[in-house]
Amino acid sequence: MPVSKIPAELLTFGAEVKRLRLAKGLTQAETADAVNVTRGYVGQVEAGTTRCRADFARRLDHALSAEGRLIEAWEELLDNIKKNKYPKFFVSFTKAESSAALLRGYEERLVYGLFQTEGYARALLPDEDAVKSRILRQGILDRTPPPTVSVVMDVSVLYRELGGPEVMREQLRHLLALSQRSNINLQILPTIHVRNLWGTFAIATLPDNSQAVYAENAYGGETSTTVEDVAFVNEVFVTLQAEAHNARDTRALIRKVIDERWS
């Protein structure tokens, strides 16, 4: 996503991290090794271009012998978030998703979460509680009235085996069934380059037309409601839809993959 103006709170926290690191006589690489992250991530935190989680702040406080100063700085940062001093990056996307009138998303590696079968989810998720939560979340699709859902998935998703041929066959047949619903539009993206596309994301539009976007990254993902982020992801999604197979051709492709790969 494009870099917008960095909030002052993140810059302040990052500067404190850098000051304590230098006082300890550590490089970014040495600090990263001490807290089990990449050097680049430490650099991002110091530059204020990402906000770390509380558990990372605690580990960093210990590694830099900060005696609680970094934890206090993190708590101050959190207080500023609660006071809405900068955009709501901590909004729960699942909460927005549950009440959305329109859901849109792009998946590059896996079947879209709301479209996963139980067998597929079981092969993917770590335990039964996670599987139950995933299936429960899918109840959104049977809500009255249901949300409109428009999803683009990379073609590799259809070929990437998860759980074995039987699970994949069931999963792709489930996609076909869902694609027949009047409120669901499913499109498959061929193997092409799409400008400004960097990975999986989702957009939830609420009944009042407010929007939240979620983008995955190496550390789990980020939710944002900023005007800039929402506009950027919407633009990328429009391009994806234009480049993807239409709904009819998508169904034909899924049937072909079932017959040729998973039968």
Predicted local confidence at residue 224, as pLDDT: 85
Report domain 8-82's class: mainly alpha
Predicted local confidence at residue 88, as pLDDT: 43
Task: Check whether 17 has a pLDDT greater than 70.
Answer: yes
Residue of 163, 175, 238 whose CA lies nearest to 201? 238
Q: For 89-106, write each residue's pLDDT tens digit.
A: 434 688 788 889 999 999
- In the chain, where are the structural domains located? 8-82, 93-262
Structure tokens at 71: 């934890």
Comparing 10 with 81, which gets the higher pLDDT?
A: 10
* 155-178 b/e (C-beta count within 10 Å ≥ 16 → b): bebbeeebbeeebbbbbbebbeeb
Task: Report the amino acid identity of residue 10.
Answer: L
Task: Check whether 213 has a pLDDT greater than 50.
Answer: yes
Residue of 206, 115, 196 whose CA lies nearest to 152? 115
Task: Report the amino acid identity of residue 99.
Answer: S
CATH fold, domain 93-262, is: Endonuclease; Chain A (3.30.870)
Task: Check whether 44 has a pLDDT greater than 80.
Answer: yes
Q: What is the mean pLDDT of residues 12-24?
A: 87
The dihedral sign for the CA sequence 241, 211, 144, 120: positive
pLDDT band at 10 (very low <50, low <70, confident <90, very high): confident
One fold for 8-82 and 93-262: no
Q: For 154-206, write each residue's pLDDT tens digit.
A: 999 999 999 999 999 999 999 999 999 999 999 999 999 998 898 999 999 98
Residue 152 φ then ψ, to 5°: -115, 130
**Averaged pLDDT score across all residues of the chain:** 87
Range 80-85, long-range pairs (CB < 8 A, 24+ positions): 80/9, 81/9, 85/7, 85/9
Task: Check whether 3 has a pLDDT greater than 60.
Answer: no
Predicted local confidence at residue 262, as pLDDT: 96
Residue of 41, 51, 53 whose CA lies nearest to 12? 51
CA–CA–CA angle 97, 102, 106 (5° rounding): 75
Predicted local confidence at residue 1, as pLDDT: 39
